[in-house]
Structure 1
Amino acid sequence: MKLDVLVVGAGFAGCVVAERLASSGKSVLVIDRREHIAGNAFDKQDAAGVLVHQYGPHIFHTNAPHIVEYLSRFTDWRPYEHRVLSSTDGKLYPMPINRTTINSLYGLSLDEAGIAAFLKSVREKRDRIENSEDLVLSSIGRDLCDRFFRNYTRKQWGLELSQLSATVAGRIPVRTNDDDRYFTDTFQKMPAEGYTSMFQNMLNHPNITLELGTSFQQVASRMQAAEIYYSGQIDEFYNFRFGLLPYRSLRFEHEHLPGTKYFQQVGTVNYPNDHDFTRITEFKHLTGQKHAGTSIVREYPQSQGDPYYPIPTPENQARYEQYKQLAAADKHVHFIGRLAEYRYYNMDQVVAAALNLMKNSLR
Structure 2
Amino acid sequence: MKKYNYIIVGSGIFGAIFAYEANKIGKKCLVIDKRSHIGGNIYCEDIEGINVHKYGAHIFHTSNKKVWDYINSFAEFNRYTNSPIAIYKDELYNMPFNMNTFNRLWGVRTPSEAKAKIAEQILESNIMKPQNLEEQAIKLVGKDIYEKLIKGYTEKQWGTKATELPAFIIKRLPVRFTYDNNYFNDKYQGIPIGGYTKIIEKMLKGIEVRLNTDFFKSRKEFENLTEKIVFTGMIDEFYNYKFGTLEYRSLRFENEILNQENYQGNAVINYTEYEVPYTRIIEHKHFEYGTQPKTVITKEYPARWNKGDEPYYPINNERNNIIYSKYKNLSNKETDVIFGGRLAEYKYYDMHNVIEQALKCTEKELQK
**TM above 0.5, one fold?**
yes
2:88–2:149: 8 Å Cα contact kept in structure 1?
Answer: yes
Would the alpha carbon gap of residues 96 and 190 (structure 1) be closer, same or farther in structure 2, given more than 3 Å must change?
same
Which residue in 1 is equivalent to 2:8? 7
Unaligned runs of 5+ in 2: none
Would the alpha carbon gap of residues 144 and 361 (structure 1) be closer, same or farther in structure 2, given more than 3 Å must change?
same
Which residue in 1 is equivalent to 2:264? 264
1:347 aligns with 2:351: yes
Superposed CA RMSD: 1.9
Residues 136-147 of structure 1 aligned to structure 2 (within 5 Å): 136-147=137-148
1:357 aligns with 2:361: yes
Q: Which moved more, 1:216-225 or 1:238-247?
A: 216-225
Q: Equivalents in 2 of 1:93, 1:294: separation in Å? A: 23
Q: Which moved more, 1:334-343 or 1:153-162?
A: 153-162
Which residue in 2 is equivalent to 1:282? 283
Q: Under a length normalisation based on structure 1, what TM-score does the superposition of the two structures give? A: 0.93
Q: Equivalents in 1 of 2:132, 2:231: separation in Å? A: 31
Would the alpha carbon gap of residues 80 and 170 (structure 1) be closer, same or farther in structure 2, given more than 3 Å must change?
farther
Q: Equivalents in 2 of 1:39, 1:100: separation in Å? A: 36
> What letter matches 2:332 in structure 1?
A
Which residue in 2 is equivalent to 1:319? 323
2:108–2:114: 8 Å Cα contact kept in structure 1?
Answer: no
> What letter matches 2:53 in structure 1?
H
Q: Offset at 1:195?
A: 0.2
1:229–1:333: 8 Å Cα contact kept in structure 2?
Answer: yes
Q: Which moved more, 1:153-162 or 1:26-35?
A: 153-162
Unaligned runs of 5+ in 1: none
> What letter matches 1:311 in structure 2?
I
Q: Under a length normalisation based on structure 2, what TM-score does the superposition of the two structures give? A: 0.92
Q: Equivalents in 1 of 2:249, 2:266: separation in Å? A: 26
Percent identity reads: 36
Q: Offset at 1:279?
A: 0.4
Secondary structure of the equivalent of 1:77? Answer: coil
1:249–1:308: 8 Å Cα contact kept in structure 2?
Answer: yes
Aligned residues: 358
1:212 aligns with 2:183: no
Residues 58-207 of structure 1 aligned to structure 2 (within 5 Å): 58-106=58-106, 108-123=107-122, 132-161=133-162, 164=165, 168-170=169-171, 173-205=174-206
Q: Offset at 1:222?
A: 1.6
Q: Equivalents in 2 of 1:277, 1:263: separation in Å? A: 17
Q: Equivalents in 1 of 2:262, 2:315: separation in Å? A: 34
Secondary structure of the equivalent of 2:142? Answer: helix
Which residue in 1 is equivalent to 2:303? 302
> What letter matches 1:58 in structure 2?
H
TM-superposition CA deviations, 1:225-246 (whole Å, max 9, x none)? 2111111000100101111111
TM-superposition CA deviations, 1:278-302 (whole Å, max 9, x none)? 1001011112222011110001111
TM-superposition CA deviations, 1:155-176 (whole Å, max 9, x none)? 1111344555667545852211
Q: Equivalents in 1 of 2:189, 2:168: separation in Å? A: 22
Would the alpha carbon gap of residues 95 and 350 (structure 1) be closer, same or farther in structure 2, given more than 3 Å must change?
same
2:85–2:94: 8 Å Cα contact kept in structure 1?
Answer: yes
Q: Which moved more, 1:232-241 or 1:69-78?
A: 69-78
Which residue in 2 is equivalent to 1:29? 30
